[in-house]
Amino acid sequence: MLSIGQCYIDFVDKILKEGKETYKDSDHHLKESLGNYYYIDDPLDLKFRAKYQHMTPELMLEEIKSGKFDIPSCPIKGDALYEYVKSFEIRDDQGFVYTYPNRILEHFGVDQFETMKQRILTATGSNRAVAVTIDPALDGDREDIPCLQVLQILVRDGELTIHCFFRSNDIFGAFYSNMFFITYIGIKMKEEVNKEIMGDKLNFGGLHYHSTSGHIYSNDMRAARKLISANK
């Protein structure tokens, strides 16, 4: 089984060893891996799938705040990781160019979390429970546009999984917190759906991660190597 923590270490190590040097633009030199996929089937390192039946958003936040998931030399941990994950509940953009919660819950005039939930409640096997973050009218010529582009919820064989697609992902600096954030959405969806269904309840089956460009910036290389050395 693969946890967020182990996936993070493996992904950073892979890019350091195998990534190709390139330039995103004149100011950003990086090492990059293209066409990435991971199935993180035990995101919170619970060891047993059955334990996810009892995992709630509130309990997940408590465990994050306790420091349970802190990794030596990781740039985000403890209170910072807690605040980032908890931010899913904040609908406004907080003065930023964009935030994922705002794009998912408010920006388009529709609560896409609720839309995904209703798709699953209407047809459990639906492939249509999708949320998007890109706004072509606004983002077409902006410098800062969402890296996370699509979320999808699927239910198969009694398990709810969440699938994400990133056009671009800073693996050393952002991947770790991104995966906890998306796992939180998945566990929240599992809980919300289970409140309304009759009969057998759904379990949470983990996170499927896709990215076009996974990269580490050149100014993070030393810190990324330190991360790997500290977690061998």
Q: At 138, which amino acid appears?
A: L
Q: What is the pLDDT of residues 160-219, one digit of tens each?
A: 999 999 999 999 999 999 999 999 999 999 999 999 998 889 999 999 999 999 999 999
Whether the Cβ atoms of residue 78 and residue 66 lie closer than 8 Å to each other? no
pLDDT recorded at residue 114: 97
Per-residue model confidence as pLDDT tens digits over 138-158: 999 998 999 999 999 999 999
For 172, phi and psi rounded to 5 degrees? Answer: -70, -45
Q: CA triplet 221, 227, 232: central angle to 5 degrees?
A: 130
Q: What pLDDT was estimated at residue 66? A: 94
**Residue 131 reports pLDDT greater than 90:** yes
- For the residues 116-129, what does the mean pLDDT come to? 96
Pair 173, 75: CB distance under 8 Å: yes
Q: Would you say 77 and 180 are in contact if contact means Cβ atoms under 8 Å apart? A: no
Q: Does the structure show a pLDDT above 80 at 93?
A: no
CATH class of 35-214: alpha beta
pLDDT by residue (tens digit) across 186-199?
Answer: 999 999 999 999 88
Q: What is the pLDDT of residues 51-80, one digit of tens each?
A: 999 999 999 999 999 999 999 999 998 999
Backbone angles phi, psi at 60, to 5 degrees: -60, -45
Q: How far is CA 168 from CA 75, 149, 211, 231, in A?
A: 19, 9, 6, 25
Rounded-to-integer distance, Cα 58 and Cα 56, Å: 5
Domain residue limits, the chain: 35-214
Alpha carbons within 13 A on the beta-carbon side of 76: 21
Query: Do the beta carbons of residue 162 and residue 182 sit within 8 Å?
Result: yes
pLDDT value at 14 more than 70: yes
Beta bridge partners of 34: 213
Q: Which of 4, 78, 88 is nearest to 46 (CA)?
A: 4
Query: For residue 94, what are its two tokens?
Result: 């907080």
| CA 51/CA 26 separation, integer angstroms | 47
pLDDT at 134 over 70: yes
- Looking at residue 27, its pLDDT comes to 73
What average pLDDT does this structure show over 25-32?
Answer: 83
Q: Where are the beta strands (DSSP E) in 14-67?
A: 20-25, 28-40
Query: What is the predicted pLDDT for the residue at 24?
Result: 77
Question: What is the percent of the chain with per-residue pLDDT over 90, rounded to a whole number?
Answer: 89
Maximal C-alpha separation, the chain: 57
Mean pLDDT of 1-9: 97
Report the alpha-carbon distance of residue 162 to residue 137 in Å, rounded: 27
DSSP 87-133: GGG--S-TTSS--HHHHHHTTTSS-HHHHHHHHHHH-TT-S--EEE-
Give residue 125's pLDDT: 94
